[in-house]
Amino acid sequence: MIFKCIFISIFITYATGQSTKSNYQYNEDHRVKEFPEPALNSKSDTNSYGGGNSVYFTSGLPINFDSRKKWPNCPSIGHIYNQGNCRSSYAVAAASAASDRICIQSNGTKNPIMSAQQIISCCYLCGHGCDGGSLFESWDYYRRHGFVSGGDYNSNQGCQPYTIPPCKLMNEKPPGHSCTTYHREETPICEKKCYNPNYYTSFRTDIYKGKYYKLSP
């Protein structure tokens, strides 16, 4: 349900014309298989967010489409995120799609990377931090409160970069952080400030907000 293409930009984010599976494989016993995402709240899934409204395209679709080539000045579109040993897929999906939307709308003049960390730590209605959550509530948070910027782990990018170590990939050299155990990372504490010491924009100034967050008839 999380990856249902209700939001057009989420479809754009992942319709890059390449298989991410070959580039981003985890060990067979990684804990994501053992801990499936909890069922999303029915309020978030359907009534409040236009669930059940279908969009049909009958003609005019290209044979193939690569959004990286369509918007070459938006590097976030082709970026593959590593959420580490944290069930933050809902937050990563919302932050990455918002990054793509901002860049596409600005014709590549703005390309901030939105912070998934802010969502998992500060959006209390979104779910349970590193124990899973709702993509739809994340979009509502973007509309009501906004997202600040924040790149990957150790990227030194943006206001609130990701602080959870990435999972190592198969055959990775040097070895990375193992996510094969059942130990889950703790949800980071919510901070209403930019904790990246090398980022000189204030938290309040760094906020991006979305105007719409749902499809309507």
Instruction: Give the pLDDT band of residue 212 (cuts 50, 70, 90).
Output: low
What does the alpha-carbon distance between residue 24 and residue 15 come to, in Å, rounded to a whole number? 16
The pair of structure tokens assigned to 151 is 């790149």
Can you list the domains of the chain with their CATH numbers? 77-208 (3.90.70.10)
Please state whether the peptide bond connecting residue 38 to the residue before it is cis, i.e. omega within 30 degrees of 0. Answer: no
Give the model's pLDDT for residue 174. 62
The pLDDT score that the predictor gives to residue 16 is 36
Residue 147, phi then psi, degrees to nearest 5: -110, 150
145 and 180 in contact (C-beta within 8 Å)?
no
CB 169 within 8 A of CB 90: no
Average pLDDT, the chain: 77
pTM over 0.75: no
* Of 9 and 65, more confident: 65
Query: pLDDT digits over 52-81, tens only?
Result: 556 666 667 788 999 999 999 999 999 999
CA atoms within 13 A on the CB side of 26: 17
The span from the CA of 143 to the CA of 101, in Å, is 13
Q: What does the pLDDT look like over 160-201, one tens digit per residue?
A: 999 999 987 766 666 656 676 557 889 999 999 999 999 999
Is the predicted pLDDT of residue 41 greater than 80, yes or no?
Answer: no
The yes-or-no verdict on residue 48 having pLDDT over 70 is no
Four-residue CA torsion sign, 11, 17, 23, 26:
positive
* Contacts of residue 122, Cβ cutoff 8 Å, sequence gap at least 6: 145, 190, 191, 192
Banded pLDDT at 39 (limits 50, 70, 90): very low
Report the length, in residues, of the chain.
Answer: 217
**pLDDT score at 206:** 97
Q: Comparing 48 with 66, which gets the higher pLDDT?
A: 66
Composition of the chain by helix, strand, coil, percent to 5: 30, 5, 70
Q: Tell me 152's DSSP state.
A: S
Q: Which two tokens stand for residue 56?
A: 């049909």
Q: What pLDDT does residue 197 have?
A: 96
Residue the block writes with tokens 């059942």: 182
